[in-house]
Chain A
Amino acid sequence: MEGSDGTLTTALRLDGVSFAYGALPALSGVSFALAAGERVALLGRNGAGKSTVARLVTGLLRPAAGTVSLGGWDTRDRTPDALARSGRVGSVFQHADEQLFARTLEDDVSFGPRAAGLPERDVRRRVAAALAALELEPLAREHPYDLPPALRKLAALAGALALEPALLVLDEPTAALDRALSARVTRALLERAAGGVALLVITHDLTFAAEALERGLVLDRGRLACDEPLAALLGSAARLEPLGLALPPVAALSAALDLPGRPVRAADAARALARVAGGRPAP
């Protein structure tokens, strides 16, 4: 949006952002930017400041110092509603599945685009695409509260996808999802990112992060402790432990068997394992 310079456009930029809840400091001097299509994990311990970043980025909080800009708009000058309606940001906070209220899943997913004032034809197209991305079409006519919690969680995500924002901010999108549903979320997010949507995903699920995301930001007591490719970060137990994180199982397997390239994604590890076991030299 911002990038009239012809390079990658910037979906989100934080510049020297600090925030405190009363006397309790939450973030200090945090700076980073997300380009269109970037897939970024926001990691760190409980209480490190991750949810505060999400609230700042969606405009629910204003920074005490520094600036947060979304597609060129300073969040200080806008309401959260205006930011969402402009298509700059869409979000799913934790336990958003408890906020479904319409009579059918389809109506619920339609709520955002309708509220944004889109013509009904566009609303239908976006809702259909969002439901398809998460394989929820067969449930479109169901009442949200007849669905198990895991599917309600997917429904809440579909609602955010239907807004087709330039930046998606998600808080723990795979918590308590089984692996099949988690894989659905991964596929949907990869598809949206390939279409240019930037992803900022708060997660404790490092296996999901390894599969779906590419860059890791780690917060430690309100400061940005790390900003680097996930493939490097997730392979290093020594780096992860002090940040309250732990080697995900696939990375642990790669390290223990000394697989070439130390893959952190399951499919890459399986390929490396097959190649080494087959006796062919690693490339």
Chain B
Amino acid sequence: MTRLALERVSFWYPATDGPTLRDVSLEVAAGEVVALVGSGGAGASTLLLVAGDLAPRVVGGKLEGRVHFEGRGKGKERRGIVLPTPWTQVSGMAFTVWDEVAFGPANLGWPRDEIARHVDRALERLGSAELRARDPATLSGGELQRVIIAGILAMDPALLLLDEPAAELDPAGARDVWRLVRALANEGRAVLVATSDLDALPELADRVVWLERGRVMDAGPPSLLASEALCAAQLGTRVAGVWRAAGLSTPYPATVADAVRRWKEVMGR
């Protein structure tokens, strides 16, 4: 079922003339990972703020069109957003990582044992259980990013909105977070993610939406990341880019596995 639907959405920040989003329509279903790709300033972060009911409600500005969020029924209609700046998302009111992760669930008024269960599970899924007694102020960027994601996950959201959730992580940590995001979708959550880690998307995303200057230019399966248009816009995967730069024929492979198959065809073996 559709969890999030944007219908012809345009959005203007306060005191700006031009819209940051222009006539954007988009759906994200339960169980699905939809990835937003685009060059800087394309509007992906703004789209996530709109989808998370932060724009215009919190940041101000003007919205046209319709944003519809469908939760999971009573008490389960939550959507959680992970901002690209984890250090701005710390509550500042917790002395331990455990309390930090519990901050959201506690505000939902859950019983103590339910809070504890969700917090322990979220920390464990982010590989951060050993940080539980640390002061959040002493965490490294990568550690903090995982703790913030755990805090959102602990609230058991039906829709996850993720803005560059792996930007602070080392390659192994990024890979783990992408696997977790895929697993969260597989258990029925809907995920909308903005990322510049294009090479992670073929294994992560069900659909890719290409934004440019606030407009949806194209949308489709991750093989879109091997299309001529995306490669020309420097938004293709690295493998597709190398193939294209070598002057080899289309279709370009999106992944190493695709390349191995295509290479056999090219070499006639």
Contact = CB atoms under 8 A, between A and B. Distances in A.
Interface of A: 44-47, 51, 94-95, 148-151, 172, 175-181, 183, 204, 206-207, 241, 244-246, 248-250, 252-253, 256-257, 266-267, 269-271, 273-274, 276-277
B132 to A, nearest CB: 16
Contact of B40 (A178, A252, A270, A271): A178
B113 to A, nearest CB: 32
Interface residues of B, number: 42
12 contacts: A45-B172, A47-B140, A94-B141, A179-B196, A244-B171, A244-B172, A249-B256, A252-B256, A253-B242, A257-B259, A266-B241, A273-B246
Contacts of A276: 267
A271 B141 contact: no
B234 interface: yes
B26 interface: no
Nearest to A24: B138
Contacts of A277: 246, 248, 266-267
Contacts of A176: 84, 164, 167, 196
Given A148-B41, A178-B39, A46 B141 contact: yes
A270 B84 contact: no
B260 A257 contact: yes
A59 B263 CA distance: 51
Contacts, number: 116
Contacts of A274: 246-248
B235 A179 contact: yes
A222 to B, nearest CB: 13
Contacts of B84: 149, 176
Nearest to B38: A178
Nearest to B138: A21
Given A149-B84, A257-B259, A277-B248, A179 B234 contact: yes
Contacts of A257: 259-260, 263
A253 B170 contact: no
Interface string B194-223: 001011000000000000000000000000
Interface string B40-71: 11000000000000000000000000000000
| Nearest 10 pairs of A and B residues by beta carbon | A46-B142, A270-B245, A150-B40, A273-B246, A249-B238, A274-B246, A179-B234, A270-B246, A246-B171, A244-B172
A169 to B, nearest CB: 16
Contacts of A248: 238
Given A150-B41, A253-B239, A273 B248 contact: yes
B168 interface: yes
